[in-house]
């Protein structure tokens, strides 16, 4: 993999004229890259230290609307500034954009220069810090599933998002012939991201027509979230450059399988896997059992961070490889949590609840918080579930709607303790607004069903 780009490397590239633009980005509540394009000379001379953005950018919806009800920013408060503080350790080329380099920022309070508590990167850093205080490091990996479509974003939008045609005509799970036809898009995605310093492992066809999966190597938790956000952004841009659309909507059609973002995780101590105990059943250490017990017990509390929109819950359907129950199993894809790598140093837990629309910083943070709680309280892990988990009537259910998940988040004493009241209230309001926006819309389904017959 290419070496990490340093600030000196950037200054040299700017002096040589090979770089003229620096993308200065941060991740918003929805997991999207927001920011500015700097002339590279300005960035290396002054703006590498800090720049500013409007504080409404961490209190908007997908449409960039400004809902009421946020304590952090509002029309009444005048929508002031945040500081965007570049993390120069995240400098990287963006080979799919000519002469361009990217850097990720932390978001700081304009007056105190302290991290903004509800900033996604700050939320994850807080949990990583708690783990370090306990002597552990979190290693994680996310799988990015998405659909490629025949037409471009602009063509699909102008067509009212109707008559969507995936790029392939049949299920292409692991299918080499069909994915060969898509190499004009997927090969640049793999190669450009690798050249940008992301440890890309592979891409593959997923279990639906036009569905893809990109896998990135297991990494420290903060790196994992950075990689996920950059990759998701790049996939959309590269697909657009090739005249196609890439969508991370979890369920774009009721007859199609949805898209997930499974999250693999384990803890390490002094460079060794702390989840592994060769003398224990499945190779699971007591620490891993405690961690998983917390992860499962509090899953309903943090589901909003794995499934943040109304559409997210359409994905949870039996027989689709999307889970419906909050139990664990050994290498069983029907459960919400899957034990992988049993009996080896690679033993880990995969959370299968998250959809392709999750914000990786928030999702990883709340799962780490749940695992930490399980460790601190020495929580007991129930036995593994076997067989078809979809049919297990005794297993706990994943919340089946955004309304239910929002209620669990609002009432969660655990998350209020782990994240803080202000953070929980902030993201509760985001979820409430999503539901309010959906509830006021009359859908095509309602009209077709009741126009004549009601």
Query: What would the pLDDT profile of 81-137 be if each residue is shown by its tens digit?
Result: 999 999 999 999 999 999 999 999 999 999 999 999 999 999 999 999 999 999 999
Same domain for 98 and 174, yes or no, is: no
CA distance 136 to 40: 38
- 77: how many CB neighbours lie within 10 A of its CB? 12
Q: Would you say residue 227 has pLDDT above 80?
A: yes
pLDDT, one tens digit per residue, over 150-173 is: 999 999 999 999 999 999 999 999
Structural domain contains residue 454: no
Same domain for 141 and 83, yes or no, is: no
CA distance 415 to 137: 21
Same domain for 158 and 97, yes or no, is: no
Quick one: which of 236, 232, 186 has its CA closest to 206?
186
Structural domain contains residue 217: yes
Q: Mean pLDDT across the chain, nearest whole number?
A: 95
Same domain for 182 and 236, yes or no, is: yes
Q: Would you say residue 394 has pLDDT above 90?
A: no
Domain's final residue, options 73, 96, 116: 116
3-class SS of residue 129 = helix
CA distance 211 to 144: 11
Structural domain contains residue 401: yes
Q: Would you say residue 42 has pLDDT above 80?
A: yes
Torsion of CA 441, 444, 448, 452, to 10 degrees: 40
Percent of the chain with pLDDT over 70: 100
Q: Would you say residue 392 has pLDDT above 80?
A: no
Quick one: which of 360, 321, 300 has its CA closest to 144?
360
Give one word for 89, left, alpha or beta, with left for phi > 0 and alpha for psi -120 to 50. alpha
Q: What is the mean pLDDT of residues 135-140?
A: 98
CA distance 310 to 287: 35
**79: pLDDT confidence band, cut at 50, 70 and 90?**
confident
Torsion of CA 46, 49, 54, 55, to 10 degrees: -170
Same domain for 155 and 19, yes or no, is: no
3-class SS of residue 356 = coil
Q: Write out the H or E segment, with its range, that includes residue 276.
A: none
Q: Write the CATH number for 403.
A: 3.30.590.10
Q: Would you say residue 213 has pLDDT above 90?
A: yes
Quick one: which of 234, 212, 229, 237 has its CA closest to 359?
229
pLDDT, one tens digit per residue, over 431-450 is: 999 999 999 999 999 999 99
**24: pLDDT confidence band, cut at 50, 70 and 90?**
very high
Q: Mark out the alpha helices in 242-377 (DSSP H runs).
A: 286-297, 299-302, 360-376
**201: pLDDT confidence band, cut at 50, 70 and 90?**
very high
Domain containing 245: what range? 127-445
Same domain for 45 and 98, yes or no, is: yes
Q: Would you say residue 385 has pLDDT above 90?
A: no
Same domain for 101 and 167, yes or no, is: no
Quote the number of domains for the chain.
2
Same domain for 83 and 177, yes or no, is: no
Q: Write the CATH number for 15.
A: 3.10.20.70
**370: pLDDT confidence band, cut at 50, 70 and 90?**
very high
pLDDT, one tens digit per residue, over 44-73 is: 999 999 999 999 999 999 999 999 999 988
The DSSP bridge partners found for residue 204 are 213
User: What pLDDT is stored for residue 373 in this prediction?
Assistant: 98
Same domain for 215 and 362, yes or no, is: yes
Same domain for 224 and 76, yes or no, is: no
Structural domain contains residue 2: no
Alpha carbon 300 to its chain centroid, in Å, reads 18
pLDDT, one tens digit per residue, over 251-295 is: 999 999 999 999 999 999 999 999 999 999 999 999 999 999 999
Cβ burial of 9 (10 Å; 0-12, 13-18, 19+) is middle
Structural domain contains residue 451: no
For residue 313, CA distances in Å to 161, 253, 399 come to 20, 13, 8
Structural domain contains residue 450: no
**Cβ pair 147, 247 in contact under 8 A:** yes
Domain's final residue, options 81, 116, 151: 116
Structural domain contains residue 121: no
Same domain for 108 and 150, yes or no, is: no
Which residues are CB-contacts of 416 (< 8 A; sequence separation ≥ 6)? Answer: 424
pTM: 0.96
Same domain for 324 and 256, yes or no, is: yes
Domain's final residue, options 53, 85, 116: 116
Distance separating the N- and C-terminal Cα atoms of the chain: 61
Structural domain contains residue 386: yes
Q: What is the mean pLDDT of residues 209-234?
A: 97
């Amino acid at each position: 993999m290419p070496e990490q780009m340093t600030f000196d490397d950037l200054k040299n590239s700017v002096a040589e004229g090979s770089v003229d633009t620096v993308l200065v980005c941060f991740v918003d509540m929805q997991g999207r890259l927001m920011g500015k394009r700097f002339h590279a000379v300005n960035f290396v001379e002054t703006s590498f230290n800090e720049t500013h953005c409007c504080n409404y950018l961490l209190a908007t919806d997908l449409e960039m609307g400004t809902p009421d009800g946020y304590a952090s920013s509002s029309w009444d408060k005048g929508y002031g500034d945040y500081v965007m503080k570049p993390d120069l350790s995240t400098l990287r080329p963006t080979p799919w954009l000519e002469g361009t380099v990217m850097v990720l920022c932390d978001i700081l309070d304009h007056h105190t220069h302290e991290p903004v508590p509800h900033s996604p990167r700050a939320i994850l850093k807080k949990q990583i810090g708690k783990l370090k205080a306990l002597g552990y490091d979190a290693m994680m990996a996310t799988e990015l599933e998405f659909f490629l479509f025949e037409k471009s974003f602009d063509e699909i939008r102008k067509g009212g998002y109707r008559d969507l045609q995936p790029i392939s005509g049949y299920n292409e799970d692991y299918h080499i012939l069909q994915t060969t036809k898509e190499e004009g898009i997927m090969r640049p995605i793999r190669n450009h991201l690798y050249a940008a310093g992301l440890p890309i492992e592979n891409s593959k066809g997923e279990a639906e027509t036009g569905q893809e999966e990109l896998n990135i190597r297991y990494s420290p938790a903060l790196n994992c979230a950075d990689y996920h956000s950059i990759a998701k952004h790049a996939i959309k841009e590269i697909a657009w450059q090739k005249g196609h659309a890439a969508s991370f909507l979890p369920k774009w059609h009721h007859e199609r399988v949805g898209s997930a973002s499974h999250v693999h995780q384990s803890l390490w101590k002094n460079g060794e896997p702390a989840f592994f105990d060769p003398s224990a059943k499945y190779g699971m250490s007591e620490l891993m059992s405690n961690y998983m017990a917390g992860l499962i017990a509090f899953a309903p509390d943090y589901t909003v961070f794995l499934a943040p929109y109304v559409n997210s819950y359409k994905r949870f359907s039996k027989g689709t490889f999307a889970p419906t129950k909050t139990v664990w199993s050994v290498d069983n894809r029907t459960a919400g949590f899957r034990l992988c790598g049993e009996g080896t140093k690679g033993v880990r837990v995969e959370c299968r609840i998250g959809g392709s629309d999750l914000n990786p910083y928030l999702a990883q943070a709340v799962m780490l918080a749940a695992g930490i709680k399980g460790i601190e309280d020495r929580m007991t892990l129930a036995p593994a579930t076997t067989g078809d988990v979809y049919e297990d009537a005794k297993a706990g259910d994943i919340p089946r709607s955004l309304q239910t998940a929002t209620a669990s988040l609002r009432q969660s004493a655990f998350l209020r303790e782990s994240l803080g009241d202000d953070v929980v209230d902030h993201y509760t309001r985001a979820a409430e607004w999503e539901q309010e926006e959906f509830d006021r819309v009359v859908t095509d389904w309602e009209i077709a069903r009741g126009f004549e017959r009601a």
